[in-house]
Amino acid sequence: MTRPRIIVTRKLPDAVEERLRQRFTVAFNTADTPFSSERLVRALQVADGLLCTVTDLFDEQILQAEGKLNAKILANFGVGVNNIDLDAAEAQGLVVSNTPGVLTDATADIAMALILAATRRMSETEAMLRSGNWTSFSPTGMLGTGIQGKTLGIIGMGRIGQATAQRAQAGFGMKVIYFNRSKTGPFDFPAEARDSIEAVMREADVVSLHLPGGAANRGTISAERIGLMKKTAFLVNTARGDVVDEPALISALKEGRIAGAGLDVFAAEPTVPQALIDLPNVTLLPHIGSATVETRTAMGMLAVDNLEAFFDGTDLPSRVV
């Protein structure tokens, strides 16, 4: 039996690469640099399947490029699939899978870390220390905002939204309110639904975003909605940068219309607007929500499970289209 040919677009944890090697004929990306559009098109033309990730943009143009596509599956390393135009992929007969579930805890941990970092001014105060400007303990210096008893507003109460809410409620005594597009709950922790994003934006002391990226949610956290937030409130985003109107967020932060933000994702990664970098009241992370050895290995293994199921002709554990 001929072994399916898989192209892997980025370096993966060793155990995942080893498992791929055992079952497939694999081309790895030892340089670990993101594929160009041309290289993605070529990969679609020569491989039977791709193990790709969020840095690979499969838009309509790439998926409909001249020349017959040979690939039959895009096994995406990531729960988010906003890097793939799903309609165009389906039109080409491509199966798409993702990696839900295995990154829930790691991402919720980073959301919680950003809630704490933003409210306790960790980036700003650490920068002060590192630059040699810490002169003494001060009873009134570097004061942040306590979160106990404050309200966390979750937008998008899926797995990661719930895990973040649970941590904030059980571990830090926050009250949880949420908006979810479809009806969800009850949960095994107290959480109150609100009937609009606006209601959550208005009421929350910390708003944490957990909605999928892509066309459907682009700019959902608009200037108007940011404008509803309390002057004392914080915005945390571990979902996708494109769900927020980034220039509007920057204006609100600069003008002190909200208190601060914690961001792990950006609209045009890896580019981060200089205006955000210059703001002291923002903690910025380079998209590390799922970046633990355990989680990245589990994500890779789930992507391989999907590839194996596809080439075995069985049901995929996490098929998107």
- Point out the residues that are catalytic: 240, 269, 287
- Using CA of residue 154, residue 158, residue 161, residue 164, what is the dihedral sign? positive
CB of 256 to ligand DGY, least distance (A): 30
Q: How far apart are CA 54 and CA 69, in angstroms?
A: 20
Q: How far is CA 15 from the centre of its chain?
A: 24
Tokens of 149: 């008893």
Q: How far apart are CA 290 and CA 139, in angstroms?
A: 37
Q: How far apart are CA 243 and CA 251, in angstroms?
A: 16
Q: Cβ(260)–Cβ(232) under 8 Å?
A: no
CB of 78 to ligand DGY, least distance (A): 3
For residue 320, which of 40, 73, 155 has the smallest C-alpha distance?
A: 73
Q: How far apart are CA 257 and CA 211, in angstroms?
A: 23
CB of 298 to ligand DGY, least distance (A): 11
Q: Of 54 and 96, which has the nearer Cβ to ligand DGY? A: 54
Q: Of 104 and 180, which has the nearer Cβ to ligand DGY? A: 104
- Using CA of residue 163, residue 112, residue 320, residue 304, what is the dihedral sign? negative
CB of 300 to ligand DGY, least distance (A): 11
Q: Of 103 and 252, which has the nearer Cβ to ligand DGY? A: 103
Residues 6+ apart with CB under 8 A from 250: 273, 275, 276, 279
Which residues contribute to the site for ligand DGY (CB under 6 A)? Answer: 54, 78-80, 103, 289-290
Q: Of 175 and 240, which has the nearer Cβ to ligand DGY? A: 240
Residues 6+ apart with CB under 8 A from 59: 85, 88
Q: Of 97 and 151, which has the nearer Cβ to ligand DGY? A: 97
Q: Of 54 and 221, which has the nearer Cβ to ligand DGY? A: 54
Give the strand pairing for 175-179 and 151-155. Answer: parallel
CB of 54 to ligand DGY, least distance (A): 5
Q: Which residue has the tokens 């070529």?
A: 42
CB of 257 to ligand DGY, least distance (A): 28
